[in-house]
Amino acid sequence: MTYLELVNKVLVRLRESTVTTVNENAYSSLVGEFVNDAKDFVESAWDWSALRSTTIVTTSSFDLGNYTLSNVNQASEIKSVLNDTSNAFMKQQSKDWFDKQTYFNDPVVYGSPAYYQFNGVLANGSAILEVYPRPDGVYNLVVNSVSRTDDLESDNSSVILPTKPIIHLATAFAARERGETGGTSAQELFAIADKSLSDAIAIDANRHPEELIYVAV
């Protein structure tokens, strides 16, 4: 569903006229902001299947071990990293652990990457992946991540998440802002939005049942 379609779905629920562009008037622009707020809320509520992606990082011999992940930003999370060349999952370590290996070890250790960490972000928001040991050859590293999206801006921007929770939540935001919706209180609308979101999460969670099982380590 597009940004414009989402805005019009909310406007209809508010008994307002639909628009041909999101910024057609002051109120439709405000509803557009509520739609983006609702989208961000829904995106952050669960690691949606639609937001998951896999990136292949190819190392070089004796480089610094830092790699830019263009599809991973500050609102993203890494689910797992594996060294496909060595057929092994990599383990995440802290910044202090990496500093200890980098600055206390002399000479620097090279080998098959077995550990990783986030090492900041670039000006454009892309995350930097650092690995250790520093690669002594060419390795294919597989990065599985969940990446949240930027705000919707153009009318034709598409949403790949379940749209019902976004529509219901944006409607609740708008109803709370103006104080009435013609019979349904803002509290009731938020309750409807919560139920819609929990149902959508339950459906998507069935695709990843292993993530809902607690395993003691």
The pLDDT, as a whole number, for residue 69 is 92
Mean of pLDDT values over 48-71: 93
Quote the CA–CA distance of 152 and 29 in Å, as a whole number.
12
Dihedral sign from CA coordinates of 4, 23, 35, 7: negative
Say whether both 131 and 54 belong to one domain.
Answer: yes
pLDDT at 210: 80
> 139 and 87 in one domain?
yes
Same structural domain, 35 and 54: no
Query: 146 CB contacts (<8 Å, ≥6 apart)?
Result: 47, 48, 51, 52, 53, 76, 77, 79
Mean pLDDT of 41-56: 95
CA atoms of 137 and 161, how far apart (whole Å): 39
Whether 39 maps to a domain, the answer reads: yes
Average pLDDT, the chain: 92
Please spell the DSSP secondary structure of 29-52, one letter per residue: HHHHHHHHHHHHHHHHHS--GGGE
Which has more confidence, 212 or 209? 209
Residue 180 has pLDDT above 70, yes or no: no
Q: Are strands 110-111 and 134-135 parallel, antiparallel or unpaired?
A: parallel
* Residue 210 resides in a domain: no
**Cα-Cα end-to-end distance for the chain:** 42
CB 126 within 8 A of CB 57: no
In a domain, 134, yes or no: yes
Domain count, the chain: 2
The answer on 173 and 124 residing in a single domain is no
The answer to whether residues 99 and 180 belong to one domain is no
- Segment 148-175, tens digit of pLDDT: 999 999 999 999 999 999 999 999 999 9
Give the domain extent around 98.
49-146
Lowest mean pLDDT among 67-76, 134-143, 164-173: 67-76
Cβ-based neighbours of 188, under 8 Å, separated by 6 or more: none
- Higher model confidence: residue 76 or residue 143? 143
What is the reported pTM?
A: 0.86
Q: Which residue has the tokens 């991540």?
A: 145
The greatest distance separating any two alpha carbons of the chain, rounded to the nearest whole angstrom, comes to 72
Q: What is the pLDDT of residue 16?
A: 95
| Residues 91 and 107 both lie in one domain | yes
Q: Assess whether 114 and 179 both reside in one domain.
A: no
What pLDDT sits at residue 71?
Answer: 84
CA pseudo-torsion sign 96, 99, 100, 101? positive
Residue 117 inside a domain? The answer is yes
The contacts of residue 124 (CB under 8 Å, 6+ apart) are none
> Are residue 109 and residue 168 in the same domain, yes or no?
no
What is the model's pLDDT at position 1?
Answer: 95
Least confident span in 45-49, 76-80, 109-113: 76-80
